[in-house]
Copies of this chain bind each other. A is one copy, B any other.
Amino acid sequence: MTDVIDLKSKLAAFHDTWHPRVIGEANGQLLKLAQCEGALEWHSHQAEDEVFLCLEGRLVLELRDREVALEAGQLFVVPRGVEHKPRAEPRASVLLFEPKQTQHLGGAGGAREVAVDDQEWI
């Protein structure tokens, strides 16, 4: 049985940016938290929609045709296949909800990729 998950306590448990931690699971989807600062690479997820809920700060999602700005209490669903480049101004904390098999950078690789099997629970 799961326990109560306190978002603020979980966020206080790690500080590295663009490295999501898993905090829960439901229906084959993972709940993750991420600390964000500066920008991540352009990427997309071919088969997974990605839910971003901004908890603190300001997160901008650059899309190819526009930008979407999220402040605390605002969420956005990036549909599968849509290229996006998250950028924090200057920092943000985000709750993500996405399928277990979602690759952090959509499989593009790079130094900030986190392998699906290496995702850390906190």
A98 within 8 A of B: yes
Instruction: Please report which residues of chain A, range 78-122, place their CB below 8 angstroms from some CB of chain B when the two chains form the complex.
Output: 79, 82, 97-99
Which B residues are in CB contact (< 8 Å) with A48?
Answer: 27
A49 within 8 A of B: yes
Label chain A's interface by main secondary structure: strand
Is B99 a contact partner of A27 (Cβ separation < 8 A)? yes
**Assembly CA distance A79 to B25 (angstroms):** 10
Are A5 and B49 CB-contacts (below 8 A) given A97-B97, A99-B27? no
**Assembly CA distance A67 to B49 (angstroms):** 33
Which B residues are in CB contact (< 8 Å) with A79?
Answer: 1-2
Q: Which residue, of A50, A69, A74, has the highest number of chain B Cβ atoms within 10 A? A: A74
A76 within 8 A of B: yes
Is B73 a contact partner of A26 (Cβ separation < 8 A)? no
Question: What's the nearest-Cβ distance from chain B to residue A15, in Å?
Answer: 19
Is A49 a contact partner of B27 (Cβ separation < 8 A)? yes
User: Closest 3 A-B residue pairs measured CB to CB?
Assistant: A26-B49, A2-B77, A7-B73
